[in-house]
């Protein structure tokens, strides 16, 4: 019986231009991302502002299983927030892998996630909670142990 511990980190990456701003109140057009839990028995989601962690704990393939890989799905939700509290317009939501554990593959809403930004939603409504699905696949041949993978998210105005 093979046992794997899965832990994923979601982190929102601020645009490069934001790194040079002073710590003043952001203009009303600046977007940020909030992660919202969608309760699931499969994994625990921990949220802290624009960061979220999914801990699947110990996962094992049942003895005698004939599958070539182990898959876990976890739903979570994202709300794009405009500074100043205004909820208008749409944003482009992208995601990419920051840290890539070669023992697993990740999919968001059925799309394979790589190092290049992937458009998750070209017209995500600002202020609305949208549910997404993360799928983690680990081949049966993967060495047991904790997995380390992180995803960067970015919301930009259109």
pLDDT at 67: 66
Residue at 20 is within a domain: no
Tally the domains of the chain: 1
In a domain, 19, yes or no: no
Report residue 89 as tokens: 């317009």
Q: Tell whether 23 is covered by a domain.
A: no
| 82 neighbors 128 (Cβ within 8 angstroms) | no
Cβ proximity of 102 and 149 under 8 Å: no
What distance in Å separates the CA atoms of residue 71 and residue 96, rounded to the nearest whole number?
A: 20
Domain holding 133, by residue range, is: 3-12+29-157
Q: Is 21 inside any structural domain?
A: no
Residues 57-79 have a mean pLDDT of 74
Do residues 99 and 60 touch, judged by C-beta distance below 8 A?
no
Does any domain span residue 152? Answer: yes
List, for residues 107-156, the tens digit of each pLDDT value: 999 999 999 999 999 999 999 999 999 998 888 888 888 888 889 999 99
Span 49-64, pLDDT tens digits: 677 777 766 666 655 5
Which pLDDT score, from 0 to 100, does residue 10 have? 42
- Residues paired with residue 118 on neighbouring β-strands, in sequence order: 95
Q: In terms of DSSP H, where are the helices of the chain?
A: none
The pLDDT value recorded for residue 113 is 94
Report d(CA 132, CA 38) in Å as an integer. 9
> For position 15, what pLDDT does the model report?
41
pLDDT at 48: 73
The residues that bridge with 97 in the sheet, in sequence order, are 151
pLDDT, tens digit, 9 for 90 and up, residues 2-20: 433 334 444 433 343 344 4
Residue 38 has pLDDT above 80, yes or no: yes
Q: Is residue 83 part of a domain?
A: yes
Planar angle of CA 119, 85, 49, nearest 5 degrees: 60
Q: Domain of 117: which CATH number?
A: 2.60.40
């Amino acid at each position: 019986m093979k046992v794997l511990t899965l832990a994923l980190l979601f982190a929102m990456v601020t645009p490069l231009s934001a790194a040079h701003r002073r710590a003043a109140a952001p203009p009303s057009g600046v977007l940020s991302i909030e992660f919202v839990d969608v309760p699931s028995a499969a994994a625990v989601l921990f949220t802290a502002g624009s960061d979220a962690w999914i801990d699947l704990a110990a996962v094992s393939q049942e003895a005698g299983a004939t599958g070539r890989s182990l898959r876990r799905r976890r739903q979570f939700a994202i709300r794009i927030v405009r500074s100043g509290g205004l909820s208008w317009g749409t944003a482009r939501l992208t995601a990419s892998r920051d840290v890539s554990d070669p023992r697993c593959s990740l999919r968001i809403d059925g799309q394979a996630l790589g190092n290049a930004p992937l458009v998750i939603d070209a017209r995500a409504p600002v202020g609305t909670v949208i549910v997404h699905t993360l799928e983690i696949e680990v081949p049966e041949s993967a060495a047991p142990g904790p997995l380390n993978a992180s995803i960067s998210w970015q919301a930009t105005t259109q």
